Amino acid sequence: MSDTDADTGPAAAPSPTPIVAFFDVDNTIMRGASVYHLGRAAWKRGYVTFGDIVRFGWKQMRFIAVGENHRHQVAVRDRALELVAGHTEAELEELAIETYEKHIERLLLPETVGLAQDHRDKGHEVWLITATPEACARVIAERLGLTGAIGSRIVSVDGVFTGELLGHVMHGPHKATAAAQLAAERGAELADCWAYSDSRNDIPLLELVGNRVVVNPDAALARYATARSWPILTAGVASIRAARRRVRREARAVARSARRER
């Protein structure tokens, strides 16, 4: 059966309300931890020390090998907050653009980027949702033509970052809370929404929506997903094609009247 044949068949009626597809960033849209590359760029600008980069590098290698854990998240979060303290919003935006152009762009996973674009073609809103500082996530979303990004936010006073969090790190159950809030604001039905992630920490987000796909999952998420018969997307060509066919076949398109301008 060809991909075209698999995409044919009766389609569900277009949704009268918006549909949102949520994508994690690290090890889902891209390979590795985005904040590590933000740290490398910060070091080159003199924001952090070489020792900081060595520690970032070790955590990056471990993250790629075994996935994230709570201690890793706390350590990276704290260093990310420290590296922007005392710097301006404009400086962080410049740093985020530089990080994307020099590092993140070449680490994007074309398979999941393609899925995000399939959702966009259906008229869905596509949001990145990540513990990465929101300024960095927003640059990735803009460069990929996605709707927007939800990330960890940092307090600024008169345009200068204090190094303190504004609210919670966008991680674990806080991702699910933020996603539910955004869906409600957009008038989306959670049963029609989608979520993609590689991490067991995103189980609350995955369980929130009606359609979830795990992407190159860590061991704990793989077990959890298998027990519940959730779709699992791996790097294999057949898996990728199956996932994209599923979006094209099963995801409801959004009626033009329900679409929102970005």
pLDDT at 1: 33
Q: How confident is the model at residue 258 (pLDDT cuts 50, 70, 90)?
A: confident
pLDDT at 157: 85
What the block records as the tokens of 165 is 């969090």
pLDDT at 54: 45
pLDDT at 164: 74
- Asked whether 187 and 19 are in contact (CB, 8 A), the reply is no
The candidate with the shortest Cα–Cα distance to 129, out of 192, 74, 198, 225, is: 198
Inform me whether the pLDDT recorded for 114 exceeds 80. Answer: yes
Q: Are strands 211-215 and 194-197 parallel, antiparallel or unpaired?
A: parallel
pLDDT at 57: 46
- Lowest-pLDDT range of 96-100, 156-160, 161-165, 228-232: 161-165
Inform me whether the pLDDT recorded for 246 exceeds 60. Answer: yes
Average pLDDT score over the chain = 81
**Catalytic positions, written as ranges:** 24, 26
Position with higher pLDDT, 259 vs 142: 142
Position with higher pLDDT, 60 vs 80: 80
What the block records as the tokens of 236 is 């294999």
pLDDT at 158: 85
pLDDT at 190: 97
Inform me whether the pLDDT recorded for 132 exceeds 60. Answer: yes
Instruction: Tell me how far CA of residue 102 lies from CA of 34, 92, 95, 96, 137, in angstroms.
Output: 12, 15, 10, 10, 15
- Asked whether 161 and 91 are in contact (CB, 8 A), the reply is no
Inform me whether the pLDDT recorded for 227 exceeds 50. Answer: yes
pLDDT at 5: 41
Inform me whether the pLDDT recorded for 60 exceeds 60. Answer: no
Segment 151-177, tens digit of pLDDT: 988 888 888 877 777 777 788 899 999
| C-alpha to C-alpha distance for 248 and 11, rounded to whole angstroms | 9
Residue where the block lists tokens 């959890």: 224
The pTM assigned to this predicted structure is: 0.80
Q: How confident is the model at residue 121 (pLDDT cuts 50, 70, 90)?
A: very high
